[in-house]
Amino acid sequence: MSLPRVAILGRPNVGKSTLFNRICGNRRALVGNEPGITRDRIYAVAEWRGKHFEVIDTGGLVLDGKDLLAGAIFSQAQSAIDEAAVLILVADAHDGATALDAELAKRLHQHGKPLALAVNKVDTYLAAPQTAEFYRLGIPDLFPVSAEHGLGVDDLLDYVTQNFGAIAPCTREDSVIPIAIIGRPNVGKSTLLNRLIGEERSIVTPQAGTTRDAIDAEIESHGHRLRLIDTAGIRRKGKTRLLAEKLSVVQARKHLERSAVALLLLDAEEGVTALDAHIGGYAHESHRSVMIVVNKWDAIKKGPTTTQDMTRTIRSRLKYLDYAPIVFVSALKGQRMDRLIETAIEVARAREFRVTTAEMNRFVQTLRLDRVPNPVSKPLRLYYLTQARTAPPTFVAFTNQRRPLYFSVERYLENRIREQFGFPGSPIVIKSRYRGE
């Protein structure tokens, strides 16, 4: 059974994301003093007194906004309203009841859904009587709260969940493949997410850096459940000026850690840039499995060797990702989406693949370490090799040397393991242990 949903709405900078984080119990949404940090719909499962529900954070609403972004934020909020069972309008106690608050309250009333007014930034119980003026907004269920400190949030949640049943959330986390979409700004990450899930979950505009929070969405495809994580475009530290941009870059790297597979998006028209290589390094160093997705391939004039030429360029500039499969797609036109999903599932499986001891013993007998350059004077002896763990595949080599394996030996072992067992898209970790003579 699906969980009931609660939508948090209001004008910019009244504390919606702080309240969202307080309700769901973690810092899922970005929070800062700059207005307009949240733009897309953000979902999280919350629990109150044994009742589970989904809470939706939305961007700040500006009803007379003329720009494309303001209209997109309003459209996202409208979708949240349509999905929700209960609505929470958040206002700012310090600002008083504004004309925009009144207009929003009027519009939300028209939906005929249970509506609570959370007057935020009431940091002491003594200040609660000062919220009386907010009753003129026509919402009788008014709750003075401090989202930052948690004051009054319990009464708000008692009201919100009063008609919810005891529905347990899905707990099959082990069956979900988390996939992060990463890349520099404006390469089409949000367009790809929207294409894969078949709806406008993430705002797309020509303006670089539109996405700030990570957007999660789950789909079922090819018999698997996939959790897609659309992250903010990653810039170099020196290129981020606003606090929201700095926070979004930090969060993008944090959400990368939640994934098993990272889709590194490249712009086919611009080719491989230094920033692409920098971002790919994050995924490689964090031991995520990686796919390289060349987007906007529909915009490239094709020749007999166009795909091969681009592949050679990628392999040359991203040498450390030589294990990553390359897929050419057009998120805008939906080209090769099935191929992308199939490859992502294959990469996720490879990440969890385990080689049996018998197979590994047979494999070790085929190795020719005497032909591998090794500066150590004493000949290297490999007694046995075992797979210690998966995700990522990690192997332990027991040798007659106390020092770590020389780079050429480690590279030889990795290449031979890939030749024999595959592991597409997955980094391979090799550790050495001294066993003695």
SS3 for the chain, per residue?
A: CCCCEEEEECCCCCCHHHHHHHHHCCCCCCCCCCCCCCCCCEEEEEEECCEEEEEEECCCCCCCCCCHHHHHHHHHHHHHHHHCCEEEEEEECCCCCCHHHHHHHHHHHCCCCCEEEEEECCCCHHHHHHHHHHHHHCCCCEEECECCCCECHHHHHHHHCCCCCCCCCCCCHHHEEEEEEECCCCCCHHHHHHHHHCCCCCCCCCCCCCCCCCEEEEEEECCEEEEEEECCCCCCHHHCCCHHHHHHHHHHHHHHCCCCEEEEEEECCCECCHHHHHHHHHHHHCCCEEEEEEECHHHCCCCCCHHHHHHHHHHHHCHHHCCCCEEECECCCCECHHHHHHHHHHHHHHHHCCCCHHHHHHHHCCCCHHHCCCCCCCCCCEEEEEEEECCCCEEEEEECCCCCCCHHHHHHHHHHHHHHHCCCCCCCEEEEEECCC
Domain presence at residue 166: no
The residue out of 110, 128, 160 marking a domain boundary is 160
Domain count, the chain: 3
341 and 367 in one domain? no
Residues 367 and 316 in one domain: no
Mark whether 347 and 361 lie in a shared domain.
no
75 found inside a domain: yes
For the cut 90, the answer to whether the pLDDT of residue 436 exceeds it is: no
**At 382, which CATH number?**
3.30.300.20
The reply to whether 165 falls in a domain is no
Claim to verify: residue 41 and residue 145 sit in the same structural domain: yes
Query: Which of 328, 351, 374 is the last residue before a domain boundary?
Result: 351
Residue 266 has pLDDT above 60, yes or no: yes
* Short-list 33, 16, 39, CA closest to 210: 39
pLDDT above 90 for 91: yes
Walk across the sheet containing 261-267 and list its strands: 215-221, 224-230, 176-182, 261-267, 289-295, 326-328
**Same domain membership, residue 211 and residue 152:** no
Last residue of a domain, one of 136, 160, 184: 160
Residue 116 lies in a domain: yes
Domain span at residue 335? Answer: 173-351
Q: pLDDT tens for residues 426-435?
A: 999 999 999 8
- pLDDT > 70: what percent of the chain? 84
Lowest mean pLDDT among 99-108, 334-343, 372-381: 372-381
pLDDT per residue as tens digits for the range 111-166: 999 999 999 999 887 777 879 999 999 999 999 999 999 999 999 999 999 999 87
What does pLDDT average to over the chain?
A: 86
pLDDT of residue 22: 93
Residue 395 shares a structural domain with residue 246: no
The pLDDT score that the predictor gives to residue 222 is 87
Residues 323 and 366 in one domain: no
Given a contact cutoff of 8 angstroms between Cβ atoms, the answer to whether 93 and 121 are in contact is yes
Judge if 51 and 192 occupy the same domain.
no
Q: Are residues 191 and 284 in the same domain?
A: yes
Q: Specify whether 64 is located in the same domain as 207.
A: no
pLDDT computed for residue 30 by the predictor = 46
- Give the pLDDT band (50/70/90) at residue 207: very low
Q: Is the pLDDT of residue 252 over 70?
A: no
Residue 309 resides in a domain: yes
Rg (CA), the chain: 26
Q: Is residue 195 located within the same domain as residue 311?
A: yes
Residue 212, pLDDT score? 44
Average pLDDT over residues 31-39: 46
Residue 2 pLDDT greater than 60, yes or no: yes
Position 109 confidence tier, pLDDT thresholds 50, 70, 90: very high
Looking at the fold, whether 264 and 138 belong to one and the same domain comes out as no
Task: State the average pLDDT over residues 374-394.
Answer: 90
Question: Per the domain annotation, does 168 fall within a domain?
Answer: no
Is 37 a domain residue?
yes
User: What's the pLDDT at 216?
Assistant: 78
In terms of phi and psi (left: phi > 0; alpha: psi -120 to 50; beta: otherwise), the region of 402 is alpha
Give the CATH number, domain containing residue 109: 3.40.50.300
* 167 inside domain: no
